[in-house]
Amino acid sequence: QKEVEQDPGPLSVPEGAIVSLNCTYSNSAFQYFMWYRQYSRKGPELLMYTYSSGNKEDGRFTAQVDKSSKYISLFIRDSQPSDSATYLCAMSAVRNTGNQFYFGTGTSLTVIP
Amino acid sequence: DSGVTQTPKHLITATGQRVTLRCSPRSGDLSVYWYQQSLDQGLQFLIQYYNGEERAKGNILERFSAQQFPDLHSELNLSSLELGDSALYFCASSVAPPTGQATDTQYFGPGTRLTVL
């Protein structure tokens, strides 16, 4: 079983729609949860970063973490064509030997004008 | 622009060969991470260096090795290359807290696309 599972999509939505992206994980030691956006042929860029459970909002983006269900979500409101990209979830646990990050395989999103 | 640079952008080589990928972290970042991204496996953590020392190891093959130099740039060496090593290789850097404390933000470079023929 992979540490992090993410539906690869692809996901196609009309402009202005609300997008929901999700990941599940198996390691209860994960405490830090991140969402990265990756445009084609570019490196991933950090969108949101949350610690433990709860919600975090940043503009049109909301990240949710439910540690009891081992489930995280990213919501995009009023989606724009510029949001078309691959979205990667990532997680890490603090260890004495350093922080190892585990990434989902990414969900490809297309927002149609 | 994340401030992380990687060279070369593209690399085409043959099976059995050896290549070196280079990464310069953002100014002030002490930690460097290497990742491999392929279509079927996603982004796989390979190895982390902090201020010249290996800190964490992921799914890195024995044919692969890395190091971080005193000026904090890092190199990833891939040897005895196989067709399956064709992938995007990313370097990321972060300030990195002391061991055992909170994780921090990683900034990714543009990647090196390796093609093994």
**pLDDT value for B40:** 72
Q: Is A4 exposed, middle or buried (0-12, 13-18, 19+ CB in 10 A)?
A: buried
Q: With pLDDT > 90 as the criterion, what percentage of chain A qualifies?
A: 66
Q: CA of B46: which chain A residue's CA is closest? A: A100
Residues of B within an 8 Å Cβ radius of A = 2, 4, 33, 35, 41-45, 48, 50, 55-56, 58, 90, 92, 96, 99-111
Ramachandran sector of residue B84 (left: φ over 0; alpha: ψ -120 to 50; beta: rest):
alpha
A105 reaches B (C-beta below 8 A): yes
**pLDDT value for A40:** 87
Q: What is the mean pLDDT of residues A12-23?
A: 97
Bridge partner residues of A9 (DSSP) = none
Q: What is the DSSP code (8-state) at residue A99?
A: P
| Residue of A46, A105, A106 lying closest to B105 (CB–CB) | A46
**Cα(A96)–Cα(B89) distance, rounded to whole angstroms?**
26
**pLDDT value for B98:** 55
CB B24 within 8 A of CB B3: no
b/e per residue, B9-45, with b = 16+ CB within 10 A?
eebebeeeeebebebbbbeebbbbbbbbbeeeebbbb
**pLDDT value for A9:** 85
Say whether pLDDT at A45 is over 80.
yes
Chunk chain B into consecutive blocks of 10 residues (it has 117) and report each block's average pLDDT, rounded to whole numbers: 93 97 94 89 88 88 96 97 96 74 77 96
Q: In this predicted model, what pLDDT tens digit does every residue of A48-86 receive, in sequence order?
A: 888 878 889 999 999 999 999 999 999 999 999 999 999
| Residue of A41, A96, A101 lying closest to B106 (CB–CB) | A101
The larger pLDDT score, comparing residue B106 to residue A89, is at A89
| A98 to B41: CB separation less than 8 angstroms, yes or no | no
Concatenating the DSSP letter of every residue in A16-75 gives T--EEEEEEE--TT--EEEEEEE-TTS--EEEEEEESSEEEEETTEEEEEETTTTEEEEE
The distance of B61 to chain A (nearest Cα, Å) reads: 16
Say whether pLDDT at A1 is over 70.
no
The distance of B60 to chain A (nearest Cα, Å) reads: 13
